[in-house]
Structures are given as structure tokens and as C-alpha cells.
Chain A
Amino acid sequence: MANKRCLIAAAGSGKTTYLVNEIWEHFQNAPVIFVTFTTTNQLTICEKIRKRFGFIPTRIKIMGWYQFLFRYFILPYKADVLQELNTIHVSLTFDSDYSRTYQTKSGSTFSKYKHNDIKGKFFTSGWRIHKDLVAEFAFLCTRGNEDSIVRRLYESADILCFDESQDFSGSDHEIIKLITRLYPGSVLFATDPRQHIYSTTKFGGKKYEGKIDLYLSEKVNTRTKKYVDIDSRSLSRSHRCIESICELASSLFQDLPSTETCTCLECMERRDKYVGLKGVFAVAEDDIELFTDKFKPMNLVFNRAEKSIVIGKCMTMGDSKGTESDVILLYPTDEQSKLLFNSRNTTLAEITRNKLYVGITRARYLLGIVFKKKHKFSNNLIPIWENSIS
């Protein structure tokens, strides 16, 4: 019985583990396609599958979203969009120089191609498609080939898993609609709307950006036919973060249900075993060195500009998605600091807020947040770390 579900997950609630377990339990010998967005997450998936299965079975294909689109949509059917492509190999470019459209500061968009010029719109020299347009081109390829594509997918896999589904946007949604409606196998989406930090298409409908659950329930399901179930309960608890970290993370999204710490026996025991310091602390600029020496944290910055004061290696909050660590030291931006240390009512751009959420929820037990001298600081929000606390 085909089963299509969209799981709304909290950070650290074990989305990926959940998906891997679903495969382990219900798809013992069936072919599986596992799609995700970031390479980091692809590695995490590999790791989790290895942990569960002992190795990565060949029947489980792990691929990025673009790879998925190229393999099942574009490469076999590109000639239907542009006939001359039947014997030409197309590839992907991430280089922003090759973007075929650009946006001015005022927000209006310009294109480098003429209306109706498919070749000019999608392709750069050497027949490369810019990443922004991959999904749109893939969608063109589906025209008239819907049945063949769905058959192709069904022959390749009995279940499609989409991790990090919050990162779908624009034409991605059209592809998702086609799959959810026509694909006869099972489909699982795991999404955390708070972790929406990438988008694969620059332009297009903003309404559903980051909100695959909303898209599925409004645009895919119809009044008469429910193609997919929205499941907001299975993954609402964080296995990873302790309570104070969950509280801080939830406080960023006051209109969404709060993330709770999982209180199952297994999680509690694991937390009890960790003997180091637990909690959320503000770390003064001068104490960074001390904190680093003592706890060996994983350093997360908002962007590379903050790097100057970091001791040791660091990663951006965006890139950190899919990873976790016992101790995290966060280097927030001025705006983020204001929200954290000063007033939780501070408004932040969605992406900035989401990235902060990602950063916070990487920590299992101890989260340090750097604050600079120039920042206003309200003591009652986050306690200050001192060397004596350990």
C-alpha cells in the first residue's frame, strides 16, 4: 500500500534517522531513492544508513536534488524541449556568472535572453544549465512524458524519500506535485520549515517558499482527493538538544509550536551519561579562548566576515545543517545578538532567523553564544559563562 507522508520535524528530532528506519522496517529489499539538498546531508544519510544496515546497499540510491532532476527528468527527455539536445550532453553550473537572469536592487528582474528563446533562457556556453533553472527546465521535460517519467521512477524505486524538503521552491514544487499525484510508490517528505535556508530557484512564488507542507495541503491535495498526509506529530521532539537549547530555539518562532526535548528513556540515559557542563551561556569576547580550551566547541559563524575573532576552525551556520556536536560556540551577527541578548521581539529576515535556528540546534548539551562588548545585554535572557562554571 503506497504511503505518502510529509513529516514536519523539529531540529534534532531525527528526521534522517526516521527516514532510514522507515526504509529498514518497511522496505527491506525494495529499491529506494533518497534525495536531499546539501552534500553534508548526503554524507549524514550515508553514515546513518551504514549505521543501520552495516553498509550502503546498492538498492538505496542517495542523490542530490539536481542529480535527481537530471537523471530522471532532464537527461532522458531533454530532446522534447529542444530537439537538438537529443545528441548533446547537458550539465549543471553553480557559477553565478552564468545565471541567465538577474535582479536589480529595486527588485525588478532582467533576463539575458529574448522571450521564447529556450536555448538562451536555460543554457550557457557548453550547454550548461544554471542551478536556478534546473527545476524549471525539468518541468518542461515532463510535458507529455508524465507517464513515462512516473514509470521510470517506479521502476527505479518503490519509495522516494525527500529529506530537507523545506528547501523546495518555485518549479521544484511543480515536480513535487507531479510525483505526489502520479507516482504509484511511497513518498516521504521530511521538512523543518524553520531550517529553510537555501532555495534552489531565485524567483517564483514566495508564498510556499520553505513551506512544502502548506504547498502539499493547498496545491497538491484537492477537496476530493488527499494525495499526501501531513504529519506534524511523529517528529516534533528533539532527541538531540537539551531542554534549555530547545527553549531558546523555540523562542525564535513564536507562532510555531515549540520544540520539545524528547524524554524517552533512551534519550534521558544518554543525556545523563554526558558529564560535562550543560546549558546555554553567553560567552564574553574575552573569554572565547578560555571557553574554547575548556570545551573544544564546534565554531559556527553567520558568514565568513565574523571569522576574524574565531579561535580554531569554523563553519557557517548554513553549512552546519545536518551536523551536530556536544558543544557549540556560536558567533552571531549584530542583529542576531540583539534578538538573543536584548529582545526576542526583534524582527529578523527569515533566512537570518532560520540560520540562527540551525546554528543553535546543532548543540547537544552546551551552547555558548559570543557577545561583544558593544552589544546591549539583558541579563535575564541568557546567563553569562564564567570560568568558575564547569
Chain B
Amino acid sequence: MLKRIIIKNFKGIKSLDMEFNDIRTILVGNNGVGKSTIIEALRLALSGENSVELTLFSFHKSCWSVTDRAISNLPKIEIEVYFSDIVKGPDFRGKSNLLIEEHPGIRFTYEFDEAYEDLYSHTTHDYVPCEYYHTTRFWFSGQPAKTKLLPFKLFIIDSANTFFNSRPRQFMSRLLEDDTDDFRPKLLSCLAGMRDSFEKNDKVKCINEELSQRAGKIKKELGVSIDLVSKNSYSSVLSPMVDGIPFEFAGLGEQCIVKTLLSLGDDDSGKPRILIVEEPETHLSHTMMYNLMKLLEEKVQSQIIISTHSSFVANRMELDNLVVLSKGEDGTVYSKNLQKDLKDKEYNFFFKATDFATLRLILCKAVILVEGPTDEIVCNYYMKQTNRDMYHNGIELMAVGGVSFGHFVELSKDLKIKVAIVRDRDDKSRDYYEKLYFANSPVENIRIFLDDNNRTIEPSFVAANKDKLHDLSSTVRKKRNSNETTDTLIDFMSNNKTEWAYRLIQGSKQFEVPQYIKDAFEWIDGK
């Protein structure tokens, strides 16, 4: 249904042009990259709600100060949502969009209202004159857009939404106010009937007469009844019930959320549905999220857009549905659709191994992949030794285990992430691994680092420190061993993997790290 979104000057996004996947789109990206802004933009453009207040700060920061006061150069917020071409209806379609191509879609702007040209000319504002701005919403045909005519039903569940803020009442009334159903009038007429029978009840009549007498001074009729005068009165009269218990007291919180969320998929208004969920992991426990994901996978046939930080969600919803967002210096946000970029690759590994830190890999700029905890600790030791602050620069260090290397390498190839593979040579040769990972066609962004002379990290480490053998021995053994030889030390370390590394990092003595590890860091640093 939703095919593409173009955003200009909205909040953290100076500009963005992103495509949605047909069924599932999972937005991932670092904090501040604009995931929530995209969802907010969708809400603004599609739902037409006034819940989003537009102010100076709704503009991208580059727009705040206005140097050129010419009306035509005043900044404007533009959001264009392109629908997929299967959306029918001549009114949606046209070339009145930034691409100047005939598509169905909606265009939202927050721009200077030319009716105020005179007023503005008398001011000397050097900031965006929001008081003279107005919002416009048009279909691409140039016809004014009407929310009720949207060719699909939209459910946005974001952090600003009352949904997750334990205010289910408001959510309920929103559901009821959806005019595509006739719930509201039906309920209202039932309520009116209820009021009638309430007022006609003999006991109530008696009470009301008594009340009137007591308040005789007012000289008007006084009584109690059901308030149906105000517009949303029914939302205060009616309360959402879960299995007969008011929602607030049901104590089923999350479960209700999941159930309600899924019941959204059950209506039969005939319009296709679009479900937009912002970071479900912040509202739901792991178990609940598992349920949600599982059910979404099986049940909901609508288009789903989810933003997330959680590897769990990302993996569960299948990796090739990911859209990775990254932001340039100037605020331009770039998107990468794995579906398009990865094509028909086999990613079952990530789908099954839900707890792997897939997102860490996807979101970093460069990564050092090591085999196990020993290697990870040694690398950390080296970083401490050389005062490197890699994480700050978006460089990750990840222990992924022997077999998984291959999967991560495959993924990195497509993502163009710089990857240093630091691994044991074991009984194979360097050639063997190059063949294994690159299939004989070297990839520029990936390099293998291993010790050609030693099988594993332990002999390498001992070899690098052979002039300080006794110092190393006492550090890793935590006691003196005067008979220490290279071989006995290697034996000890190989039998106490991790432990020796842990002792190493706790000790105060400085040792040399094997050259291939140093090389890996050098390369990753780009030196």
C-alpha cells in the first residue's frame, strides 16, 4: 500500500527518500537517525490528526534561522507518501508531486500562507514565521485530501500514542470514532435508549422529584440522568472491558495490548490495513513480543511497518525486510532496503538464531569479528593498551564463533561494512579461508587476519612474548613456575582458555599482542 516516502526539512531529517517493502518493513538505525520522525511524518501526512503540533522546532535545524526573507525561499516541511500503483481511484493519482511522475499518493506541507504576505512584510523575523504558516494536504491529483477517503485503514502505534500509555479509553474512543464503521451512531442511539429507560424508571423518577423539591429555590427541574450532551460523552460513560473487568483493572496490560493489536486485523471493512508500530520492545516484555511477532507473522495480512532497536524483532520479521537508515553530516538520511540489495540470498541462519546481535553488525561502520571470548578479551586488552576508543567511532568488536563467521561475512559483503576477521588458523592455511569466505574473489571491505605460523591464539601470544616468558607465566598462572617452557605455557593456556585472558587483563604487566591482531586494528582504523 505504502510504497515510498519523501521527507524534507522535518525534524531531524533534512531530506529522505525511502521505499517501503510490500509486506513488512523494519526500520533500523541508530538513535537519532530518524526512525520515529518517519513514523511521525506518516502520521501527519496520512492520519491528518492535529495531534502533532508544528512549531519552529518541527523544522530541521538548518532551517531555523531565515537569512533570505523572500516568500518563495522560506523553508517548508514537505512529506509525500506514495501509494503502490495497485491503489485505484483517479483522485489519488497525478503528477503533483516532487518526482513529477504519475502515482497515487498524498502530499503534506507546512508552508507559508500567502494570505499573510502583507503581515509578514511588516515584520523583521529572522526565524521561520510559523505564525503565518499553514498545513495543506492534497492527493497527487491536486484534489484536497480527506482522511476518511484514504484507500486503506491505518493503525499507528507509537510512543506518543495513548495505546501504550495505559490510557486504553482514549484508544477505544478512537476506534469508535472511525467513521468507516457505524459503531458510534449505534452506540449513541443505544445510550439514548438507555437514558430514556433510566429516566422512566420509577425509582429514578422518585429520586428526581425529591431532588427537585429539595432544590426548590432554583425554580428549575433538577434531577440525575445520563450525560449524553457533550460530543465524547460516551467515552466517559463507556469503559473498555476485558473479560468483564474494566481494562485498567484487568492487570493483563501487555496481553491485552497484544490481543487488541491483533484484533485490529480482524475487521472486515474491506479496506486493506497498514499497521505501524514504533519500537514494540520498549513497551513489551520479551515473551509478549515473541507472541506479538509470532502472531503478526501468521495472522496479519496487512502491510506492517515497525521501527526497532531489537535484534529479536529484526530477526523474527526476517532480515531481508530490514531498511537500514543512516544519516549524513547535512541531515540527509539514507536508506538501504536489504530486500532490494540482498536479493535472493539465504538468510535462514539469522532468522533461526534470533538472539544474535545482527543489528550490531548492521548498524556499525566497521567490525572486528573474533572467534570466542579469549580473542575478545585479548582485543580489549590491546585496546586498553593503545587507548583506542573504538565504540565511539562506530567500530564494533564481536565474538561470533567459528561456524557463524561465514554467515556474518555474507551479510557484511552486501552491507559494505568493513570487516576484520580475526581467527585461529587451526590446521588450515590462509588460502583455505580465503577460498571459504570469498570463493576466490577477494572483497575489498573484508580481510582475514591470522597467524601463519601458529594454529591458535595461545601459541601466537606466547611467541609474541617469548622474551618475557616468565612474566607471562606468572601472570596467567597466578603463581611462579620456574620450570616453565614455551610448550608447557602453551599447554596451560590452551587448557585454560578465557581464564588466562581474564588474568591477563586483570594483571598490571604489559605484554605484546600478536602481530596479526595489531594489523587488524591498524587496518580497521584505516591507517
Identify 19 new A-B residue pairs, CB closer than 8 A, beyond the known A77-B94, A85-B96, A148-B102. Answer: A71-B142, A75-B94, A75-B143, A76-B102, A76-B142, A77-B95, A80-B95, A80-B100, A86-B96, A87-B98, A87-B107, A87-B109, A126-B114, A151-B90, A152-B90, A152-B93, A155-B88, A155-B90, A156-B90
- Asked if B140 is an interface residue, CB under 8 A from chain A, the answer is yes
Asked if B96 and A79 sit within 8 Å, CB to CB, the answer is yes
Asked if A89 and B136 sit within 8 Å, CB to CB, the answer is yes
- Asked if A78 is an interface residue, CB under 8 A from chain B, the answer is yes
- Chain A 91-134 interface residues, beta-carbon cutoff 8 Å to B: 126
Asked if A74 and B142 sit within 8 Å, CB to CB, the answer is yes
Residue interface mask B71-111, A partner, CB < 8 A = 1: 00000001000000000111101111110101000010100
Asked if A75 and B96 sit within 8 Å, CB to CB, the answer is yes
Asked if B142 and A86 sit within 8 Å, CB to CB, the answer is no
- Asked if B59 is an interface residue, CB under 8 A from chain A, the answer is no
Give the one of A75, A76, A156 with max B CB within 10 A: A76
- Asked if B138 is an interface residue, CB under 8 A from chain A, the answer is yes
B142 contacts which chain A residues (CB < 8 A)?
70-71, 74-76, 78, 89
Asked if B143 and A79 sit within 8 Å, CB to CB, the answer is no
- Asked if B36 is an interface residue, CB under 8 A from chain A, the answer is no
Closest 8 pairs (CB-CB, A-B): A75-B142, A76-B94, A152-B90, A155-B90, A76-B141, A79-B100, A79-B95, A86-B100
- Chain A 50-103 interface residues, beta-carbon cutoff 8 Å to B: 70-72, 74-80, 83, 85-87, 89
Closest to A87 in B: B98
A153 to B141 Cα, complex, angstroms: 12
* Nearest CB of B to A203, in Å: 27
Asked if B78 and A87 sit within 8 Å, CB to CB, the answer is yes
Q: Is the interface of B mostly helix, strand, loop or mixed?
A: loop
* Nearest CB of A to B83, in Å: 15
A151 contacts which chain B residues (CB < 8 A)?
90
A89 contacts which chain B residues (CB < 8 A)?
136, 138, 142
* Nearest CB of B to A275, in Å: 49
Closest to B99 in A: A86
Q: Which of A87, A153, A156 contacts B96 (CB 8 A)?
A: A87
Closest to B78 in A: A87
* Nearest CB of A to B81, in Å: 15
A75 contacts which chain B residues (CB < 8 A)?
94, 96, 141-143
Closest to A86 in B: B100
Closest to A90 in B: B142
* Nearest CB of A to B64, in Å: 22
* Nearest CB of B to A2, in Å: 18
Q: How many residues of A are in contact with the other chain, CB < 8 A?
A: 22
* Nearest CB of A to B8, in Å: 10
* Nearest CB of B to A149, in Å: 9
A72 to B95 Cα, complex, angstroms: 12
A80 to B349 Cα, complex, angstroms: 49
**Total contacts A-B at CB 8 Å:** 57
B contact residues, range:
20 to 34
Residue interface mask A179-218, B partner, CB < 8 A = 1: 0000000000000000000000000000000000000000
* Nearest CB of A to B176, in Å: 24
Cross-chain pairs A/B with CB under 8 angstroms, 27 sampled? A70-B142, A71-B141, A74-B142, A75-B96, A75-B141, A75-B143, A76-B94, A76-B96, A76-B102, A76-B140, A77-B94, A77-B95, A78-B95, A79-B100, A80-B100, A86-B95, A86-B97, A86-B100, A87-B97, A87-B98, A89-B142, A126-B114, A148-B102, A152-B141, A153-B90, A155-B90, A156-B91
A155 to B92 Cα, complex, angstroms: 12
A83 to B94 Cα, complex, angstroms: 14
Closest to A155 in B: B90
A153 to B138 Cα, complex, angstroms: 19
Closest to A76 in B: B94
A368 to B204 Cα, complex, angstroms: 70
Asked if B141 and A83 sit within 8 Å, CB to CB, the answer is no
A79 contacts which chain B residues (CB < 8 A)?
95-96, 100
B90 contacts which chain A residues (CB < 8 A)?
72, 151-153, 155-156
A76 to B96 Cα, complex, angstroms: 6
Asked if A71 and B143 sit within 8 Å, CB to CB, the answer is yes
B143 contacts which chain A residues (CB < 8 A)?
71, 75
A89 to B98 Cα, complex, angstroms: 13
B114 contacts which chain A residues (CB < 8 A)?
126
B78 contacts which chain A residues (CB < 8 A)?
87
* Nearest CB of A to B504, in Å: 63
* Nearest CB of A to B73, in Å: 13
Give the one of A74, A75, A89, A126 with max B CB within 10 A: A75
Given contacts A87-B78, A152-B90, A155-B89, contact A76 B138 (CB under 8 A): no
B141 contacts which chain A residues (CB < 8 A)?
71, 75-76, 152
* Nearest CB of B to A58, in Å: 11
* Nearest CB of A to B245, in Å: 43
Closest to A153 in B: B90
A159 to B93 Cα, complex, angstroms: 20
A70 to B142 Cα, complex, angstroms: 9
A351 to B170 Cα, complex, angstroms: 63
Given contacts A75-B143, A76-B140, contact A86 B89 (CB under 8 A): no
A337 to B261 Cα, complex, angstroms: 78
A76 to B92 Cα, complex, angstroms: 9
Closest to A75 in B: B142
* Nearest CB of A to B168, in Å: 35
Give the one of B91, B94, B98, B136 with max A CB within 10 A: B94
* Nearest CB of A to B376, in Å: 52
A74 contacts which chain B residues (CB < 8 A)?
142
B93 contacts which chain A residues (CB < 8 A)?
76, 152
A76 contacts which chain B residues (CB < 8 A)?
93-96, 102, 140-142
* Nearest CB of B to A90, in Å: 8
A250 to B100 Cα, complex, angstroms: 53
A72 to B93 Cα, complex, angstroms: 10
A72 contacts which chain B residues (CB < 8 A)?
90
* Nearest CB of B to A3, in Å: 22
* Nearest CB of A to B116, in Å: 12
A155 to B102 Cα, complex, angstroms: 15
B91 contacts which chain A residues (CB < 8 A)?
156
A155 contacts which chain B residues (CB < 8 A)?
88-90
Asked if B100 and A83 sit within 8 Å, CB to CB, the answer is yes
* Nearest CB of A to B122, in Å: 19
B89 contacts which chain A residues (CB < 8 A)?
155
Give the one of B89, B140, B141, B142 with max A CB within 10 A: B142
